[in-house]
Amino acid sequence: MLIIPAIDLKDGQCVRLKQGLMEQATVFSDSPAEMARHWVEQGARRLHLVDLNGAFAGKPKNESAIKAILREVGDDIPVQLGGGIRDLDTIGRCLDDGFSYVIIGTAAVKNPGFLRDACVAFPGHIIVGLDAKDGKVATDGWSKLTGHDVIDLAKKYEDYGVESIIYTDIGRDGMLSGINIEATVRLAQALTIPVIASGGLSNIEDIRQLCAVESEGVVATIAGRAIYDGSLNFKLAQDAADAGSR
Protein backbone atom coordinates (compact mmCIF):
# COMPACT_ATOMS: atom_id res chain seq x y z
CA MET A 1 0.00 0.00 0.00
CA LEU A 2 1.52 3.24 -1.20
CA ILE A 3 0.85 6.49 0.63
CA ILE A 4 1.18 9.45 -1.71
CA PRO A 5 1.65 12.93 -0.20
CA ALA A 6 -0.43 15.60 -1.90
CA ILE A 7 0.97 19.02 -2.72
CA ASP A 8 -1.91 21.32 -3.63
CA LEU A 9 -0.79 24.54 -5.29
CA LYS A 10 -2.64 27.85 -5.04
CA ASP A 11 -1.00 31.13 -6.01
CA GLY A 12 2.42 29.47 -5.83
CA GLN A 13 1.93 28.20 -2.28
CA CYS A 14 1.35 24.74 -0.83
CA VAL A 15 -2.17 24.74 0.65
CA ARG A 16 -4.96 22.41 1.72
CA LEU A 17 -8.64 23.00 1.07
CA LYS A 18 -11.72 21.83 2.90
CA GLN A 19 -14.19 20.09 0.55
CA GLY A 20 -12.59 21.76 -2.46
CA LEU A 21 -13.48 25.31 -1.47
CA MET A 22 -10.82 27.81 -2.59
CA GLU A 23 -11.87 30.24 0.13
CA GLN A 24 -11.21 27.48 2.70
CA ALA A 25 -7.47 27.29 1.95
CA THR A 26 -4.87 26.82 4.69
CA VAL A 27 -1.32 27.73 3.64
CA PHE A 28 1.25 25.18 4.81
CA SER A 29 4.32 26.35 2.91
CA ASP A 30 5.51 29.21 0.73
CA SER A 31 8.02 26.81 -0.88
CA PRO A 32 6.31 23.80 -2.47
CA ALA A 33 9.70 22.53 -3.71
CA GLU A 34 11.02 22.38 -0.15
CA MET A 35 7.84 20.59 0.91
CA ALA A 36 8.34 18.07 -1.89
CA ARG A 37 11.91 17.41 -0.73
CA HIS A 38 10.64 16.98 2.84
CA TRP A 39 8.22 14.21 1.82
CA VAL A 40 10.89 12.43 -0.21
CA GLU A 41 13.21 12.52 2.79
CA GLN A 42 10.39 11.06 4.90
CA GLY A 43 10.18 8.11 2.53
CA ALA A 44 7.59 9.11 -0.08
CA ARG A 45 7.77 6.96 -3.20
CA ARG A 46 5.43 9.10 -5.31
CA LEU A 47 4.05 12.65 -5.14
CA HIS A 48 0.61 13.95 -6.10
CA LEU A 49 0.50 17.55 -7.35
CA VAL A 50 -2.69 19.51 -7.96
CA ASP A 51 -2.76 22.91 -9.64
CA LEU A 52 -5.83 24.32 -7.92
CA ASN A 53 -5.82 27.56 -9.88
CA GLY A 54 -5.48 25.48 -13.03
CA ALA A 55 -8.44 23.31 -12.11
CA PHE A 56 -10.68 26.35 -12.01
CA ALA A 57 -9.09 28.15 -14.98
CA GLY A 58 -8.98 25.13 -17.28
CA LYS A 59 -5.23 25.40 -17.90
CA PRO A 60 -2.08 25.14 -15.75
CA LYS A 61 -1.42 28.26 -13.67
CA ASN A 62 1.29 27.38 -11.13
CA GLU A 63 3.97 26.51 -13.64
CA SER A 64 6.93 28.07 -11.82
CA ALA A 65 6.14 26.20 -8.58
CA ILE A 66 5.51 22.99 -10.52
CA LYS A 67 8.82 23.19 -12.38
CA ALA A 68 10.65 23.95 -9.13
CA ILE A 69 9.23 20.74 -7.63
CA LEU A 70 10.31 18.72 -10.64
CA ARG A 71 13.82 20.17 -10.45
CA GLU A 72 13.95 19.26 -6.77
CA VAL A 73 12.65 15.68 -6.82
CA GLY A 74 11.65 14.68 -10.34
CA ASP A 75 14.62 12.36 -10.83
CA ASP A 76 14.11 10.65 -7.47
CA ILE A 77 10.48 9.45 -7.59
CA PRO A 78 7.45 9.52 -9.92
CA VAL A 79 5.37 12.69 -9.76
CA GLN A 80 1.80 13.01 -11.02
CA LEU A 81 -0.04 16.23 -11.86
CA GLY A 82 -3.70 17.19 -12.06
CA GLY A 83 -5.59 20.44 -12.46
CA GLY A 84 -6.50 22.15 -15.71
CA ILE A 85 -5.21 19.47 -18.09
CA ARG A 86 -7.65 19.73 -20.98
CA ASP A 87 -5.71 19.08 -24.21
CA LEU A 88 -3.09 16.76 -25.71
CA ASP A 89 -0.47 19.49 -26.05
CA THR A 90 -0.58 20.15 -22.30
CA ILE A 91 -0.19 16.44 -21.57
CA GLY A 92 2.80 16.25 -23.89
CA ARG A 93 4.48 19.23 -22.21
CA CYS A 94 3.88 17.75 -18.75
CA LEU A 95 5.47 14.43 -19.70
CA ASP A 96 8.36 16.19 -21.43
CA ASP A 97 8.91 18.26 -18.28
CA GLY A 98 9.35 15.09 -16.25
CA PHE A 99 5.95 14.04 -14.91
CA SER A 100 5.34 10.31 -14.87
CA TYR A 101 1.55 10.63 -14.94
CA VAL A 102 -1.06 13.25 -15.70
CA ILE A 103 -4.49 13.24 -14.08
CA ILE A 104 -7.55 14.11 -16.11
CA GLY A 105 -10.69 14.97 -14.17
CA THR A 106 -13.39 17.29 -15.47
CA ALA A 107 -12.27 16.89 -19.09
CA ALA A 108 -12.72 13.11 -18.86
CA VAL A 109 -16.38 13.57 -18.00
CA LYS A 110 -17.14 16.44 -20.37
CA ASN A 111 -15.04 15.26 -23.31
CA PRO A 112 -14.58 11.47 -23.29
CA GLY A 113 -13.20 11.61 -26.83
CA PHE A 114 -10.27 13.65 -25.52
CA LEU A 115 -9.61 11.06 -22.81
CA ARG A 116 -9.67 8.25 -25.37
CA ASP A 117 -7.22 10.14 -27.58
CA ALA A 118 -4.95 10.82 -24.60
CA CYS A 119 -4.82 7.12 -23.70
CA VAL A 120 -3.89 6.25 -27.28
CA ALA A 121 -1.25 9.01 -27.56
CA PHE A 122 0.29 8.51 -24.10
CA PRO A 123 -0.33 4.90 -23.02
CA GLY A 124 0.51 4.14 -19.40
CA HIS A 125 0.64 7.79 -18.39
CA ILE A 126 -3.03 8.75 -18.02
CA ILE A 127 -4.83 8.62 -14.67
CA VAL A 128 -8.46 9.66 -14.29
CA GLY A 129 -9.57 11.51 -11.19
CA LEU A 130 -13.17 10.70 -10.32
CA ASP A 131 -14.57 12.96 -7.62
CA ALA A 132 -17.94 11.94 -6.28
CA LYS A 133 -20.57 12.46 -3.64
CA ASP A 134 -23.16 9.79 -2.90
CA GLY A 135 -21.98 7.82 -5.92
CA LYS A 136 -22.43 10.67 -8.42
CA VAL A 137 -19.53 12.35 -10.21
CA ALA A 138 -18.68 16.02 -9.62
CA THR A 139 -16.83 18.29 -12.05
CA ASP A 140 -15.39 21.81 -12.34
CA GLY A 141 -13.45 21.83 -9.09
CA TRP A 142 -16.31 19.96 -7.40
CA SER A 143 -18.68 22.88 -8.03
CA LYS A 144 -21.06 20.85 -10.23
CA LEU A 145 -22.67 17.51 -9.38
CA THR A 146 -23.56 15.42 -12.44
CA GLY A 147 -25.96 12.52 -12.82
CA HIS A 148 -23.14 10.17 -13.88
CA ASP A 149 -22.62 7.04 -11.82
CA VAL A 150 -19.01 6.60 -10.68
CA ILE A 151 -18.75 2.89 -11.47
CA ASP A 152 -20.33 3.21 -14.92
CA LEU A 153 -17.90 5.95 -15.92
CA ALA A 154 -14.90 4.15 -14.46
CA LYS A 155 -15.67 1.03 -16.48
CA LYS A 156 -15.82 3.11 -19.65
CA TYR A 157 -12.47 4.73 -18.85
CA GLU A 158 -10.94 1.34 -18.14
CA ASP A 159 -11.91 0.30 -21.65
CA TYR A 160 -10.15 3.41 -23.00
CA GLY A 161 -6.90 2.28 -21.38
CA VAL A 162 -6.39 4.58 -18.40
CA GLU A 163 -3.58 3.54 -16.05
CA SER A 164 -5.58 3.88 -12.84
CA ILE A 165 -8.44 5.74 -11.15
CA ILE A 166 -8.13 8.18 -8.26
CA TYR A 167 -11.41 8.06 -6.36
CA THR A 168 -12.16 11.01 -4.10
CA ASP A 169 -15.15 11.22 -1.78
CA ILE A 170 -15.63 14.99 -1.84
CA GLY A 171 -17.85 14.94 1.20
CA ARG A 172 -14.86 13.82 3.24
CA ASP A 173 -11.91 15.56 1.57
CA GLY A 174 -9.99 17.79 3.96
CA MET A 175 -12.34 16.89 6.82
CA LEU A 176 -10.20 14.18 8.49
CA SER A 177 -13.32 12.04 8.74
CA GLY A 178 -11.85 8.82 7.39
CA ILE A 179 -11.64 7.24 3.95
CA ASN A 180 -14.92 6.00 2.47
CA ILE A 181 -13.66 2.42 2.41
CA GLU A 182 -16.95 0.85 1.33
CA ALA A 183 -17.42 3.04 -1.75
CA THR A 184 -13.74 2.74 -2.72
CA VAL A 185 -13.80 -1.06 -2.50
CA ARG A 186 -17.05 -1.21 -4.46
CA LEU A 187 -15.38 0.71 -7.27
CA ALA A 188 -12.19 -1.36 -7.16
CA GLN A 189 -14.14 -4.61 -7.32
CA ALA A 190 -15.85 -3.44 -10.50
CA LEU A 191 -12.51 -2.77 -12.25
CA THR A 192 -9.31 -4.56 -13.17
CA ILE A 193 -7.16 -1.41 -13.14
CA PRO A 194 -5.80 -0.05 -9.83
CA VAL A 195 -7.79 2.35 -7.66
CA ILE A 196 -6.14 5.05 -5.54
CA ALA A 197 -8.19 6.17 -2.53
CA SER A 198 -8.49 9.86 -1.73
CA GLY A 199 -10.44 12.09 0.61
CA GLY A 200 -10.57 11.96 4.40
CA LEU A 201 -7.43 10.01 5.36
CA SER A 202 -6.94 10.83 9.02
CA ASN A 203 -5.09 8.21 11.07
CA ILE A 204 -3.25 4.90 11.23
CA GLU A 205 -6.53 3.02 11.52
CA ASP A 206 -7.44 4.25 8.04
CA ILE A 207 -4.16 2.80 6.79
CA ARG A 208 -4.90 -0.56 8.40
CA GLN A 209 -8.36 -0.65 6.82
CA LEU A 210 -6.90 0.17 3.41
CA CYS A 211 -4.25 -2.55 3.72
CA ALA A 212 -7.04 -5.02 4.50
CA VAL A 213 -8.66 -4.29 1.12
CA GLU A 214 -5.49 -4.00 -0.97
CA SER A 215 -6.21 -7.37 -2.55
CA GLU A 216 -9.44 -5.89 -3.96
CA GLY A 217 -7.40 -3.49 -6.08
CA VAL A 218 -7.02 -0.45 -3.81
CA VAL A 219 -3.26 0.00 -4.23
CA ALA A 220 -2.58 3.44 -2.77
CA THR A 221 -4.01 6.39 -0.93
CA ILE A 222 -3.39 10.12 -1.18
CA ALA A 223 -2.53 11.87 2.07
CA GLY A 224 -3.35 15.54 2.50
CA ARG A 225 -4.38 17.58 5.51
CA ALA A 226 -3.61 14.84 8.05
CA ILE A 227 0.12 14.75 7.25
CA TYR A 228 0.30 18.55 7.21
CA ASP A 229 -1.39 19.28 10.52
CA GLY A 230 0.41 16.42 12.27
CA SER A 231 -2.52 14.16 13.03
CA LEU A 232 -0.83 11.49 10.90
CA ASN A 233 2.92 10.96 10.85
CA PHE A 234 3.73 10.20 7.22
CA LYS A 235 6.84 8.08 7.84
CA LEU A 236 5.11 5.96 10.48
CA ALA A 237 2.06 5.64 8.25
CA GLN A 238 4.10 4.39 5.28
CA ASP A 239 5.98 1.98 7.56
CA ALA A 240 2.62 0.67 8.83
CA ALA A 241 1.34 0.36 5.27
CA ASP A 242 4.43 -1.59 4.22
CA ALA A 243 4.04 -3.92 7.20
CA GLY A 244 0.32 -4.36 6.56
CA SER A 245 0.90 -5.20 2.91
CA ARG A 246 3.26 -8.06 3.62
User: CA-to-CA distance for 212 and 94, rounded, in angstroms?
Assistant: 34
User: CA-to-CA distance for 234 and 21, rounded, in angstroms?
Assistant: 24
CB 101 within 8 A of CB 113: no
- For the segment 207-233, what is each residue's pLDDT rounded down to a tens digit? 999 999 999 999 999 999 999 999 999
DSSP-based three-state secondary structure for 175: coil
User: CA-to-CA distance for 241 and 219, rounded, in angstroms?
Assistant: 11
What are the catalytic residues? 8, 131
* CB-based contacts of 189, cutoff 8 Å, min separation 6: 216, 217
CB 233 within 8 A of CB 44: no
- For the segment 54-112, what is each residue's pLDDT rounded down to a tens digit? 988 888 899 999 999 999 998 899 999 999 899 999 999 999 999 999 999 989 999 99
User: CA-to-CA distance for 141 and 135, rounded, in angstroms?
Assistant: 17
CB 211 within 8 A of CB 185: no
